[in-house]
Structure 1
Amino acid sequence: MEAPSSPSSPFKSSSLRASSYTTPKPSPPSLIVSVIRTTSISLAVAAALFLTRLHTRLAIAAPVAAEESSSATPSPSATTTEKENYVSLGEQERALEQQLARNPGDTEALRSLMEVRIKSRKLLEAVEVVDRLMELEPDDGEWPLLKYQIYMFSGDYESARKGFEEVLAREPLRVEAYHGLAMANAESGNSLDDVVKRIDLAMDTCRKEKKKTELRDFKLLFAQIRVMEENFGEALKVYEELVKEEPRDFRPYLCQGIIYALLKKKDAAEKKFDQFKKLVPENHPYKDYLMENMLATKLFSEKLQREGA
């Protein structure tokens, strides 16, 4: 694999392996290690939302993925609320199905039905709705991506991988598809080495074709993969390089804050979270979700400190 051509790039090693980074990885406490999988999913959801071409559709599925990854036992009040919400969602689903029985081509009703089914955890039934939307809107490239994301959230990693590969066959620089491929491989216990090599080649192409936006998204994805590999040191290094390249981009600050919080570096985490809050646009479509993710991470970090983990 050829080395990146830009001397200022944070990806100076041709292998891009964890061992190529000279600074030792932080040694997280054992309890943190035990929840790395959950943390990786949380960060991966954030990374998916960060990708600039991905529209609001994944925001529907993202909270579901984050909730599914949590191993916490819900409180009785939370369970009651969940049951009430489920009943409400069931009523919405029946109403939408009745509307679609009268007008099968109502794309707005189909979108709403898809959202309700995702929130109800009826993921395979949601895929059926996405298939209908793909038939009605064949030129919309976002529907296939959402379909394969849902496959991944449902645990059907093989279908997800095949789908993302189909997207990449048509669009070799579609960073969202690489993100999905990395997540599917990680969740199914497969190596990420091949995905990293392909991302490396895609970044080289972005540099040659001067696709700066796509290149930055690939760098964010690379950092996320290092988080998934528990290589926090290299991930933080890449995020810092991204900050130097574009200090007004809020995305690296949030990711840095989450990592520092989980490493119980409270002051460093607060500093990054403050920078994120100052820079994230008020009208950003995912602001509320990202703020909730930040708060949940802070609360989890405080819990670790109280328990002396």
Structure 2
Amino acid sequence: MDPVRAYHPGSLAVQERLGVRTLADHVGRSIGPAIKPVAAAFLEQQPMLVLGAAARDGQVWSTLLTGDPGFVRATAPDRIAIGGGGPAGTDPLAGAFDAGAPVGTIALDPRTRRRMRLNGTTADGPDGLSVHAEQVFANCPKYLQKRTLHGVEPGARPGAVRRGTALTPGQERFVRAADTFFVATAAPDGVDASHRGGNPGFVRVHAPDELSWFDYPGNSMFLTLGNVEADGRAGLLFLDWSTGDTLQLSGTARTAFGPEGRTTYLRIQQTVETEGASPLRWSAPDYSPANPPLDEGARWPE
């Protein structure tokens, strides 16, 4: 894919501001619409997929889909099928996927510290929710915590759902203890789903309706920050890996640029906490050696 077409004006503006356009063009050549055999094989091994999209009211959310390995599979060089029909029930993205709806996905395997992103649009298909791929690419294992999959909780079903417009004290503790979250962002050319990781405490809670995280050095594409620059809508997903509880946040993001780096802030507008949303049970993490010490956070720009 032409690297210029891989990036919209928001990403290009951030790349220019940070002086990484040449590097971004080089990295952007890895983005294409084709699902290569190695990527297809990786997808079929995964018991979970994170999906990002806009709900009917325009709010952007991230959500977690799970199933037996093979529930996500490539059905064509530019298409994947997701078994089960996509988000349902009380999920904020339930019923949000008409044909042609922009969607971002990320398949992340904590067992191997590998991840793959696929962005595109939803398509009609006989096997549940299908996604027509427009951007397919892998990311390095930076900031990915390694975990062992203990198994699937027999007969597990989602439990109580709590909705709100700000974090409760318990949810604040949940966010502060997180070492991983997923983030969906929107822009005029589609939706992207990505990952953020670090040592517990890398996400800061400033108020019940505002949190932030430092933007650690990555691949210089700035797809997430580019979407924040162009649009601002964002949805975060926090997962309790041991219990399957999830916390979904939707709101508006902005990025503060300073001499020491970049900090992204989320102004929370809606929250959804679901007990036992995932039946998967994972081990405690083996933290990534790339995670910066938390004391670096003292120099975050405000």
> Do they superpose with TM above 0.5?
no
In terms of Rg, which structure is larger?
A: 1
- Decide which structure has greater helix share: 1
TM bin (shorter chain): under 0.3
TM-score normalised by length of structure 2: 0.27
